[in-house]
Amino acid sequence: MSKSGDQKYMARALELAEQGRGFVEPNPMVGCVIVREGEIVGEGWHQKFGGPHAEIEALSAAGQAATGADVFVSLEPCCHQGKTPPCTEALIGAKVARVVIGCQDPNPQVAGNGIASLREAGIEVELIADDGSAHRLVAPFAKLMTTGRPWVIAKWAMTLDGKLATHTGDSQWISSEASRAVVHHVRGQVDGIVVGKGTVVQDDPTLTARPSGARIATRIVLDSLATLPMDSRLVKTLDQAPLLLVAREDAPAGRLSSLQSIGVDVLSLAMGDHEDFIGQLLDELGQRQMTNLLVEGGATLLGTLFDLGAIDEVHVFVAPKLIGGQAALTPVAGQGLAEMATALELDEIEVNVLGGDVHIHGYVRPR
């Protein structure tokens, strides 16, 4: 098969994989295409966590036609027993001739062992030249596997003069309805949505996805002394989505008990500076297998994540409005950088106009 043919079928595998977004986490999104004599005889993707992997779905669709066929899979097939049996065994049992892989699995339990297993069975294996698409698709999974922390998506809406709100704190609404629809779509794909207590007090948000998406995100509020108002919309909508309140270990026990009694999950973290506090939170959320985390502010929280180098992806909505004010908040506080040469830069930038706003989406370039 020609190299151009390989690229075409791998592109299809990646397209299939994308359909699992929001359904498969903490597993990675994976797609698979089986080709015999230039014809696609089977396709599949990992459709939900705990369900059959992409290779199994594609082999089931192909049946006997998989024998002697070429298999294109976006991620190295697993070779260990998890919630499902190893995909390498299924491929070997189906007697496929060749397996073309988009990228190696970052999971230490696999990490090249799947490739080795296939080759030991006499199956030809190739790692296709990746344009970055295969690695991008599994980047959140890779971060969780290698660092134990979730992929962090920073989102904010600001005016043309770079303000999150007026000097009185009023921010509803900076962005257009079309921009807010994009935010709701992202909310429906993540495991958690994080805000600081100030955002809750000022905006009284619900932080739910409307309409609902593939996932129901846990609303996470950083509230050191557990002062979350009992009449807040976050509390009133506990039947719609989980709520996790993150407090210091010296927060009033009575407040914590009251919140827990109505169904709020409470996480107490050791006291320390803000960076240490946020670092502990990221570690804890990683242990809970949260893969994608959407951070919606405010400036102090975003600034701490920036200073920690923890932001991986950015959605920014710039409204064609000016409000001025030296005291009006800018999006990212924290210590910041001393030199322009060290500024974070974005890759794979997408720019769209939504209801008059400019939506900028990109991925933080590794330093």
Active site residues: 55
| Residue 199 annotated as part of some ligand binding site | yes
Q: Which two tokens stand for residue 287?
A: 């242990």
- Provide the sign of the torsion angle of the four alpha carbons 34, 106, 149, 56, taken in this order: positive
Pairing state of beta strands 98-101 and 218-222? unpaired
| Residue 173 annotated as part of some ligand binding site | yes
| Residue 203 annotated as part of some ligand binding site | yes
Q: Which two tokens stand for residue 215?
A: 């996932």
Q: Which two tokens stand for residue 97?
A: 């001739």
Q: Taking Cα atoms as reference points, which of 66, 81, 67 lies closest to residue 33?
A: 66
Examine residue 140 and say whether the peptide bond preceding it is cis (omega within 30 degrees of 0): no
DSSP track, 41-69 = EEEEE--STTS--HHHHHHHHHGGGGTT-
Helix axes 3-18, 54-62, angle to 10 degrees: 110
| Residue 75 annotated as part of some ligand binding site | no
Say if residues 73 and 63 touch (Cβ distance below 8 Å): no
Q: What are the backbone angles phi and psi of residue 218, rounded to the nearest 5°? A: -75, 125
| Residue 207 annotated as part of some ligand binding site | yes
| Residue 345 annotated as part of some ligand binding site | no
Q: Which two tokens stand for residue 230?
A: 């009992």
Measure the CA–CA gap between 310 and 265, rounded to whole angstroms.
24
Angle at 104 between CA 9 and CA 129, to 5 degrees: 50
| Residue 296 annotated as part of some ligand binding site | yes
Based on its alpha-carbon atoms, the radius of gyration of the chain, rounded to whole angstroms, reads 23
| Residue 171 annotated as part of some ligand binding site | yes
- SS3 of 86-139: the string is CHHHHHHHCCCCEEEECCCCCCCCCCCHHHHHHHHCCCEEEECCCCCHHHHHCH
| Residue 247 annotated as part of some ligand binding site | no
| Residue 187 annotated as part of some ligand binding site | yes
Q: Looking at 109-242, which runs of residues are DSSP E strands?
A: 124-127, 151-159, 192-196, 218-222
Measure the CA–CA gap between 306 and 338, rounded to whole angstroms.
13
| Residue 233 annotated as part of some ligand binding site | no
Residue stretches of the annotated binding site = 53, 78, 87, 157, 171, 173, 187, 199, 203, 207, 210, 224, 296
Residue stretches of the annotated binding site for substrate = 171, 187, 203, 207, 210, 296
Residue stretches of the annotated binding site for Zn(2+) = 53, 78, 87
Residue stretches of the annotated binding site for NADP(+) = 157, 173, 199, 224
